[in-house]
Amino acid sequence: MKNYNDTVVTILGSTGSVGTQAVCVAREMGVKVGVLAAGRNYKLLAEQAAELSPAVLSVSDDATAEKLRELTGGKYEIIVGADALESAILGTHHDVIIHSIAGLEGTRSALAAAKTGAKIGMANKEAIIAAGGLINRELSKSGGVMVPVDSEHSAIFQCLRCGSENAAHPDTISRILLTASGGPFFGKSFDELRDVTPERALAHPTWKMGPKITVDSATLMNKGFEVMEAVRLFGVTPDKVEVLIHRQSIIHSMVEYIDNSVIAQLAAPDMRSCIRYAISYPERAVAPYGKLDFPAIAKLTFDAPDTEAFPLLSTAYRAIEADGVMPSSLIAADEVAVDAFLKGRIGFCDIVRVIDETLAKTVQGAITTDGDVYEAVARAKSTASRVVTSII
């Protein structure tokens, strides 16, 4: 069995939900850590540094850097801001970069990672959706490879490596069956969701995640993002991606081929499995936990999603079909809407209204550079903020 002690891993977003699990996997696998990048959580970053001994620590601002420097006694090189992080990514040797910086702000670091030629364990769906073509272009130039870390896309990635030599070619794929837990409000009607509070929306039945993605799971917006991500990652048309509600969260996704054979990936719902696979790919590393107990599982069930109760799933299909600036605008509008909901400024169902009105006011345009992404995002956020104000 391969020893990973010489594998150099960088973890971007190390203090977030996925990042902390990546730190756990790095410790278990015994890999070397080159860079740990966080935002402002200097206390947790200091703990991670003491455990993993990285060469470089990255934080977002000078005040956080000073606190981190005092806490760590000047033992580490500490860099500040997006420019410095981009330089560190480009100037450091990495075998694997785990990218778990959340949201659109991770786009710049994703593009930098793609230029390095390293293997990228990608957990940032927003960057893929908004700038997937640009990222793939850089990967082609550098010879890098991207391994998805989202549980569903990791599953699809693995399923596409089963079967014939050309199994991953889009022409051999009949359907990608993207599974969803259904979130905390499965079975509810749209009217029943009007009084949902942030506390209720944050009570996900399966996964422990950050507040933004948890609310997106409750609206099924996150599953819509995953549909868009699948289109970008696997080169299929949107009509080939079908969502299935699978409450047990054991089958993480499936691929149906043109001969009607279906290959599924099953595992316990644990992000560490996906992270470990990304680090070890194309091999597999031993996992010390997570073995399935099939008699205990007893049954696996599937339902079609209710797009009347959760209309944002359909919105995602329309956005990725339109392409251009629409996917970026959708992500930006959702960020504004979810933030307003979590702060009690709008209701749960108003999230749909903010997004739909923003997209209706968005002027279509092409994405040819990362600047086009940032401009589209800024315009959509401005529009969405005005819609929020009109609701209050």
pLDDT of residue 207: 66
1 within a domain of the structure (yes/no): no
Question: Can you give the CATH number for the domain in which 29 is found?
Answer: 3.40.50.720
Does residue 330 have a pLDDT over 70?
yes
From 108, 127, 112, 94, select the one nearest 26 (Cα to Cα). Answer: 94
Does residue 240 have a pLDDT over 80?
yes
pTM of the model: 0.94
Same structural domain, 188 and 85: no
Same structural domain, 333 and 281: no
Mean pLDDT across the chain, nearest whole number?
95
The tens digit of pLDDT for each residue in 259-298 reads: 999 999 999 999 999 999 999 999 999 999 899 999 999 9
Question: Can you give the CATH number for the domain in which 341 is found?
Answer: 1.10.1740.10
- State mean pLDDT over 246-271: 96
Same structural domain, 140 and 159: no
Range of the domain at 370: 323-392
**What percent of the chain has a predicted confidence (pLDDT) above 90?**
92
Range with the poorest average pLDDT among 77-86, 155-164, 200-209, 375-384: 200-209
* Structure-block tokens of residue 67: 């606190």
* Structure-block tokens of residue 279: 């680090």
Same structural domain, 124 and 166: no
Does residue 164 have a pLDDT over 70?
no
220 within a domain of the structure (yes/no): yes
- State mean pLDDT over 328-344: 97
**What percent of the chain has a predicted confidence (pLDDT) above 70?**
98
Does residue 324 have a pLDDT over 80?
yes
Does residue 304 have a pLDDT over 70?
yes
Same structural domain, 168 and 289: yes
Strands of 32-37's sheet in order across: 77-80, 56-59, 32-37, 8-12, 96-99, 119-122, 145-148
pLDDT of residue 248: 94
**pLDDT band with cut points at 50, 70 and 90 for residue 163:** low
The tens digit of pLDDT for each residue in 60-84 reads: 999 999 999 999 998 999 999 999 9
Provide the domain count of the chain: 3
* Structure-block tokens of residue 211: 């507040």
3 within a domain of the structure (yes/no): no
Domain endpoint, select from 290, 313, 336:
313
Same structural domain, 161 and 298: yes
pLDDT of residue 167: 61
Domain endpoint, select from 148, 165, 180:
148
Same structural domain, 140 and 156: no
Q: At what angle do helices 350-360 and 326-342 cross, to 10 degrees?
A: 150
**pLDDT band with cut points at 50, 70 and 90 for residue 1:** low
Cα gap 149→125, rounded to integer Å: 9
